[in-house]
Copies of this chain bind each other. A is one copy, B any other.
Amino acid sequence: MDIAADRIWTDFRTLRETTPLVLSLTNSVVREFTANAVLALGASPIMSDAFEEIAELVGIAGALNLNIGTPTPRSAEAMALAAATAKAKGIPIALDPVAVGATQMRRKLVDRLLSIATPTVIRGNQAEIAALAGLASVARGVDAVGNLDQAHAVVHQLAKQTGAIVVASGATDYVSDGNTVIAIENGHPLMARTTGSGCVATAVIAAFLTVSSHPFSAAISAMIVMDLAGELAADHSRTEGPGSFRVRFLDAFDKLEPELIEQRMKLNKL
C-alpha cells in the first residue's frame, strides 16, 4: 500500500470540491465543535438524533458518523436505524465507541451497532479499541490513559475481528485493515487537551470516506489531515494554551498545502 502525500492532497482537494454532506449522530458535548470542524475541513455537516427523521437524512448524506458519547435510549434507536439505513443504501459508516469500556449501556449499544452493520471505519483511543477487542480495559472515562504496549497489535486484531478499518489514535496513531498496520507519528499533545478532538477525527474520517477510493487510505488521509492541522495549530498557539489551540485548529485546515504534507507526514508501515 502506497500512501503518498500527493494522494492525501488529492483526497483533500476532492473533498473540498465536492463538499460532502456528513451526517453525525454524536454526543451532546462536542456537537458544535464537530460541526465547525467538518465545515472548516470543507465538508458540510448535518446533525440529528431523531429516530423519526434519521432514515431520510441518511438518504441524503454522503457518510454517516456514529458517536456513542452521551447515549440515551432514544439516540440508541436512532443510531440503530441510521446504521441499518446506511447499510441498505451503501453509505459508509464511521463509528466512535466513546468510553465503551465504562458502562454496560455503551458496550451493548456498540455490540448492537456492530451486529446491524460492519462500520467502514472504527476510531477510538487506545483504551477504547482495547476494550472493544475484548482486552482488559484500562479505559477511565473518555480520555486516553497513555499508549498501551502493543497498541498496534490490538488495532490489527480488532480489524480482523470486525472487518472494519480500525484506527487507534494517540501520540502515535495506528491504522489497520486487518492485514497491514500503519503508524502515524504526527499530531501534537495539545490535541489531547481539547474536548472532542477524537470525536472530530472520526467525523473527518467519515468525510474522507466519501472521496477516497479505499476506506484504508481514507482513514489514513483523514488522520494525516487531522494531525497536521493539530501541528499547525500548535505552531500558532503553543505558548498560549488549549483555548487558543482550539481556535487555531479550526483555522488550520485552510493552511494545508501539498508541500507541507510532504514535509511533515511521518507514516510508517509496521
Contact = CB atoms under 8 A, between A and B. Distances in A.
A72 B50 contact: yes
B45 A195 contact: yes
Interface string A24-45: 0001111111011001100011
A47 B69 CA distance: 8
A42 to B, nearest CB: 9
Interface of A: 21, 27-33, 35-36, 39-40, 44-50, 52-53, 56-57, 60, 69-74, 99, 102-106, 140-143, 193-196, 240-244, 246-255
A195 B35 contact: yes
B73 A52 contact: yes
A244 B240 contact: no
20 contacts: A28-B28, A29-B32, A32-B32, A32-B195, A36-B243, A36-B246, A39-B143, A39-B193, A40-B193, A40-B242, A46-B141, A53-B102, A53-B103, A57-B103, A60-B141, A241-B250, A241-B253, A243-B248, A243-B249, A246-B247
Contacts of A52: 71-73, 105
A70 B78 CA distance: 13
Contacts of A254: 241-242
A243 B46 contact: no
Given A46-B141, A244-B251, 12 more contacts: A21-B141, A27-B47, A31-B32, A39-B194, A40-B243, A52-B105, A57-B103, A60-B140, A72-B74, A240-B248, A243-B252, A244-B248
